[in-house]
Structure 1
Amino acid sequence: MIRARLVLACVLAAGAAAPAAADTPGEGACAAFSVPGRAIEHPFELPGGQRALVRDPYGGLIFRNRLFVSFVVRTVDKAQREQVIDHVEWMLDGDPAPLARNRGGRYALLVPSTRFPAGQHQLTAHVVLRDGQALDEAIDVNATDCQPVTFFADIAVSRGRRAAATLSVGSGGPPMRRVTFTALRGVRAAAPAALRGRAIGTLSFFDGTSVRQAAGLTLRLPRRAAGGSVVVLRRGALRVTLHPGRRRLLDVNGLPDGTTGVRVRLAPGIVAPRRGCPVRADLVATVLGGRGSGAAAVRSGVRC
């Protein structure tokens, strides 16, 4: 079975952290790239010295376009939590009302993301113990209406060297000037001799906040690819460069003004593993924007 996963990454440029304001993507504060953070576990101590934590799977940043958000209080093991903690009540900025009708059960919070207004907030877990004592653990969260940078790598890794690949990056709103695809493991770029002088795929653009797509531009392998990097598309300032044999797979430079989504479809064998299953491939898409947009790196992977 092939499994695809989207792994979250980091904003590379200073000042490009996700904003609090509910701006239109690509305007105001949303002109900077936003990416989800890594999960954070906030430890605290219960009476008697037992250790517990509040798990924030969003790294302090909630995108309000997701359906639900969930936070949970955990201990070293579930049995200990049952013995020590009766239940957890949740408050947003000191008020339990916005988080009413919680679907998370005794220890977790599960509510629609829109319960968190755009902006900076303090989320408090009011932990009620079995013996009647209670304590509060507060964490900081930021909610935004901006949309995150996304990267999806769809590679038919089960076909080994004959795998076809589709690499899609959406900016979430800010325009992109450059996209670089890099393999952390599992796949490499290639320029098969049988495909020299032939089309090896397409480059297309789409709205980076939805699925609308425009017609693609043909990527063509030169007849003479004598080693090293090869340009497979050149149109005005736009250039796509393939790097056979390297972890740095593909560069897309000189993107047209206003580009918010890039999709590269590649013929079998251009970006592929060296063998069939089992394979675990991890890739990173690095996007560079215009002035004020910053840069971001997002990781994705497939395995079989």
Structure 2
Amino acid sequence: MSGAVMRALDSDLVYNFRRSPIAIISTLIVVICVGAAALAPLIAPYNPFDLASLNLMDSMIPPAFLPDGTAAHLLGTDNQGRDLVSAMMYGGRISLIIGLSAVVFATIVGILVGLTAGYAGGAVDAVLMRIADVQLTFPAILIALLVSGVVGVALPPSLHEKLEVYVLIFAIGISRWPQFARTVRSSTMVERGRDYVLAARVIGLSGPRIVLTHILPNAWGPVVVIATINIGGSILDEATLSFLGVGLPATQPSLGTLIRIGNDYLYSGEWWITIFPGVALAALVLSINLLGDWLRDAVNPRLR
């Protein structure tokens, strides 16, 4: 092995990871979920997006371990005849894409706002942080619900289904940027008084260059931790919006959409349509949150 790899394996972070059963189990669950979602076109038994292959006569088939189940559909089918295993793989793929994209969008917006507020200070800092404070008084899902509804009304009906994924990414991302902004602002206010920043000013470097090349790398650690924790929340936001009917349409079976569809048939005996996607969503979000909590504690020197 190269020296860099050996140093990485001997780092405190890897050592703490090896000694944390929760982190190891959470990582395995996340890897399994992400792997199944990423490889869905290759390993899924069926393609739930291929409408030509769906047969309504195959709808509501129970799981294979029930008396009327069949081995062709291990976890049964939904109301449209989609194989639930395949639908969950593709649905997890959509949920992960939306969750990750929303966190990336929130991270970029939060970093830009936090760097600007922390470095400029004064009135700029006061205005930007008051906006963040006002938004933080409302639950993130409420902001996402409001933004999704407003943007959905503003778009022409013909574009709703085509742009629904992007609307969800924007709505969820814009509801979570204040957490990143406040963290980056705090780090920026600490770093801007350091000697290396003062030296950069003396030699004539511009403010944007100092912020991006000197201050941002030193404020990146807390951002990674917050982003990891927010991934689970963003996936849950997408599921909630889809469950409420303002997220993805029924033709795009995310985990939230499958839960919403199954909820209509829960009391009529077809429990598997909502239970299995619900368990998969809970396992994925819980594992990501536990992994984020471990990462937050592992990088905090006060907790070592």
Normalised TM-score (structure 2): 0.22
- Normalised to the residue count of structure 1, the TM-score between the two structures is 0.22
Q: Which has the higher helix share?
A: 2
